[in-house]
Amino acid sequence: MDETPAISLKNVTKRFPIPFRRKAVLAVDNLSLDVPVGQVYGLLGPNGSGKSTTFKVALGLVTPDSGDAFLFGKPSRDVASREEVGFLPENPYFHKFLTGAETLRFFCRLCGLSGAKLTSRVKDLLHLVGLDYAADRRLSGYSKGMLQRIGLAQALVQEPRIVILDEPTAGVDPAGSREIKNLIFQLKEDGKTVLLCSHLLTQVQEVCDRIGIMAAGRLVEEGALDDLIGLRDQIEIRVSGGQTELLQKIEALVTAEGGKVLSIGRPRTTLEDHFLEVTGALSERRSN
Amino acid sequence: MTASEPFNQAKDVTPHKRFSSGRILAIASNTLTELTRTKVFYFLFIFGLVLLGSSMLSNNFSFGEEFQMLKDVALGAIGIFSTLLAILSTAMLLPRDIEDRTLYTILAKPVPRHDYILGKLLGVFYLLFISIAVMSVLFIILLAHREGIRIGQAALMYENPDDLVAAQNQIRAAAFTPGLWAGLFLILLRACILAAVTLLLSSFATSNLFTIVMAFTVYLIGHIQSIARQYWLESGDLNAFQKVFLSITAIIFPDLQMFNIVDEVVVGRAVPWFLVIKVFGLGTMYILIYLGATLALFRSKEL
Ligand SMILES: Nc1ncnc2c1ncn2[C@@H]1O[C@H](COP(=O)(O)OP(=O)(O)OP(=O)(O)O)[C@@H](O)[C@H]1O
Ligand SMILES: [Mg+2]
């Protein structure tokens, strides 16, 4: 299938110069990445590994030193490509002097909405992120999690086909992060493409179809979640051939012995273990 | 959060516009809200106090002196406040958006950088217009009030109706002199030029203090450069280098000396309309030059 990917980065390298020094921080190192349409892609990596920078390159907010970024095949540096994308920055900050509703109204107007359509959209979004009760309070009085929710609402203003979320659940309470998780499922159901990063690996494991793991600016591993964390050095019974009958027999045997088969399926390691394994070596190398 | 509301309603796709007045106006009114809510308008109280103070002294003067002093104080204060407002409120606009990273969220929307800059500048222009309009209205009310009092006093002084009418006409002529509106308009124009300079400075400055100090420096140079130029021109032949230097400074630094016609307004002289148009043309040119430079710098700025 040669469908154009929703998000495509080709050999992106980005250095940030350190003022008054010759050296520069290598934030992203020759990174190539494709996010197919309709997938939820999770980018993982330790602090400072370049995830946020990668997102900014994909959005055209940061110009890479070399390489290209495309959204639905359009170069990210073209402003027009941003019609299709919603972005939740990490630790989102908005104008503190605005209320929640005013903030959303402002972003709606930036996206060309007006009149009754704008009013109803603002109301829907506030409801969607559970902030109806705080709509008319200034953002200077919002808690971290509330700001995060406004940030999420703001990202969805123009009903974009791509949603990029930089740590969407940071600072959000457990119930809120479950809601965000459900929202991501909803987005996926609606055929949107989601690119997110998070340090909460269990959540990533739950929502993502594909995972990329970054360390020191490089994409060190990438693939479908099932491929990445389907079983590693663990002891288990593997069955081949005669599936259903054999399983029934095993089940019967276990039950006869007083046990119970809780689940039958492909075993996995935890994503957390896998993550530490693939990033560990590089992190060590960087620290000395 | 109710995830049950789907987002798959049909979406009317409008092609992306390179310039959009809707976007620019959204940013401009957002900027005005920002400035209003940082309580900049409190300075209007100080302006009110200045006016009140000067009107208290005014019974000691003849009406001619009184009106002239009132105009002197009011136009002077409007000039100073609008200059301060233009420089101080513009200086922090861009740095604050960059520092708070609110700029990321704005530019992640389909907002071209030039729309953002245009919106910001327009927002400051709104602010300057409103402030100067409010100050002008306060001043005009006071002037009309004093005019009424003087006319009332004249009625007690003259018994001959012809004399009274003549005296009252004299008072009216002295109060609202013809150049007044032009003077207020030119003050607004000068404030807009200073805002445009400050925005340009803030687009490459590394600190707000630098921006503010540089903006005031530009203000000073703007006032003295034409004097220096005249002096040089009168002192004889210029070599090529001096000529280039002069024309470059004339472009970089706004010629604020041309706004000295506001002083003429104070003493009640009429300002020829072609002069106002000329200054307006030059002022607009300066604003466009600074705006163009800001756009060029901001386009390639690493955020
Ligand atoms: N504007 C900038 N100027 C200078 N250096 C920067 C800038 N932005 C990022 N960096 C550097 O680039 C590297 C990658 O940063 P980035 O924010 O992309 O990391 P991250 O993976 O998002 O980390 P975290 O998990 O902490 O959010 C870091 O070393 C950081 O110091
Ligand atoms: Mg980050």
Summarize the confidence of residues B238-242 as an average pLDDT: 76
3-state secondary structure of A137: coil
Instruction: Quote the pLDDT of residue B136.
Output: 93
Report the range of poorest mean pLDDT among A10-24, A54-68, B190-204, B212-226: A10-24
- At B84-106, the pLDDT tens digits run 999 999 998 999 888 888 888 99
**Within-domain flag for B11:** no
Between the CA of A104 and the centroid of ligand 2 the distance, in Å, is: 24
Per-residue pLDDT tens over the stretch B114-139? 999 999 999 999 999 999 999 999 99
What was the pLDDT predicted at A228? 73
At A265 the pLDDT is: 66
pLDDT of A22 higher than 80:
no
Cα–Cα distance measured from residue B303 to residue B297, given in angstroms and rounded to the nearest whole number = 12
Q: In this predicted model, which residue has the larger pLDDT, A189 or B266?
A: A189
Note the pLDDT tens digit of each residue in A248-279: 777 787 788 776 666 666 556 667 567 777 76
Say if residues A191 and B11 touch (Cβ distance below 8 Å).
Answer: no
Q: What pLDDT does B10 receive?
A: 39
Q: Enter the pTM of the model.
A: 0.83
pLDDT value of position A264: 67
Q: What distance, in Å, lies between the first and last C-alpha atoms of chain B?
A: 33
Mutation choice for ligand 1 from A9, A49, A165, CB with most ligand atoms inside 8 A: A49
Flag whether B10 is in a domain. Answer: no
CA angle, residues A177, A180, A183, in degrees to nearest 5:
155
pLDDT greater than 80 at residue A173: no
Residue for token pair 């300057």: B128
CB-based contact B108 A82, cutoff 8 Å:
yes
- Residue with the bigger pLDDT between B58 and B248: it is B248
Residue B3 lies in a domain: no
| Cross-strand partners of A215 | A218
In a domain, B23, yes or no: yes
Mean pLDDT, range B264-287, rounded to an integer: 86
Query: Is the residue at B190 inside a domain?
Result: yes
Dig out the tokens for B159 from the structure.
């018994």
Q: What is the mean pLDDT of chain A?
A: 82
- C-alpha distance from A16 to closest chain B C-alpha (Å): 10
Q: What is the pLDDT of residue B192?
A: 95
Band of pLDDT at residue B2, cut at 50, 70 and 90: very low
What are A204-238's pLDDT values in tens digits?
Answer: 888 888 999 998 888 888 888 777 766 443 445 55
Q: Which residues of A touch B27 (CB under 8 A)?
A: 110
Q: How high is the ipTM of this complex?
A: 0.81
- List of chain A residues whose C-beta atoms are within 8 Å of the C-beta of residue B4: 186
- Report the helix count and the strand count for chain B, using DSSP H and E: 12, 0
A contact residues 118-177, partner B, Cβ 8 Å cutoff: 124, 127-130, 149, 151, 154, 156-159, 176
Question: What is the distance between the alpha carbons of residues B161 and B151, in angstroms, rounded to a whole number?
Answer: 13
| Chain B positions with Cβ closer than 8 Å to A | 1-9, 11, 14, 16, 18, 20, 22-23, 25-27, 30, 33-34, 37-38, 100-102, 104-112, 302-303
| CA distances (Å), origin B260, targets B1, B148, B189, B299 | 61, 30, 13, 36
Cα-based distances in Å from B229 to B246, B249, B250, B275: 7, 10, 9, 20
Q: Are B78 and B43 in contact (CB under 8 A)?
A: no
A59-73, B230-244, B247-261: which has the highest mean pLDDT? Answer: A59-73
Residue B291 reports pLDDT greater than 70: yes
Question: Are B82 and B131 within 8 A, CB to CB?
Answer: yes
Position B4 scores a pLDDT of 41
Neighbours of A247 (CB within 10 A): 13
Dihedral angle over CA of A112, A116, A120, A122, nearest 10: 40
* Most confidently modeled range among B146-160, B166-180, B202-216: B202-216
pLDDT over 70, % of chain A: 85
Domain count within chain B: 1
Domain that holds residue B52: 19-299
Which domains are seen in chain A, by residue range? 7-228 (3.40.50.300)
> At A239, is the pLDDT very low, low, confident or very high (cuts 50, 70, 90)?
low
Ligand 1 geometric centre to CA of A144 (Å): 21
3-state secondary structure of A265: coil
B237 vs B227: CA distance, rounded Å? 17
pLDDT digits (tens, 9 = 90+) for B276-288: 899 999 999 999 9
Burial A174-188 (b: 16+ CB within 10 A, else e): eebbbbbbebbebbb
Residues A70-98 have a mean pLDDT of 87
Chosen for mutation from A15, A20, A63, A79 (greatest number of chain B CBs closer than 10 Å) is A79
Average pLDDT of span A41-69: 90
Find the closest chain B residue to A127 by CA distance: B1
CB-based contact A188:A40 (threshold 8 Å): yes
Instruction: For A72-131, give the secondary structure using H, E and C.
Output: CCEECCCHHHHHHEEEECCCCCCCCCCEHHHHHHHHHHHCCCCHHHHHHHHHHHHHHCCC
Q: Residue B209: inside a domain, yes or no?
A: yes
For A217: left if phi > 0, alpha if psi spans -120 to 50, otherwise beta; the answer is: left
Structure tokens at B51: 């006016």
Q: Is residue B12 part of a domain?
A: no
B224: which 2 tokens?
């003295």
Output phi, psi for B128, to 5 deg: -65, -40
Residue B13 lies in a domain: no
Measure the CA–CA gap between A103 and A233, rounded to whole angstroms. 51
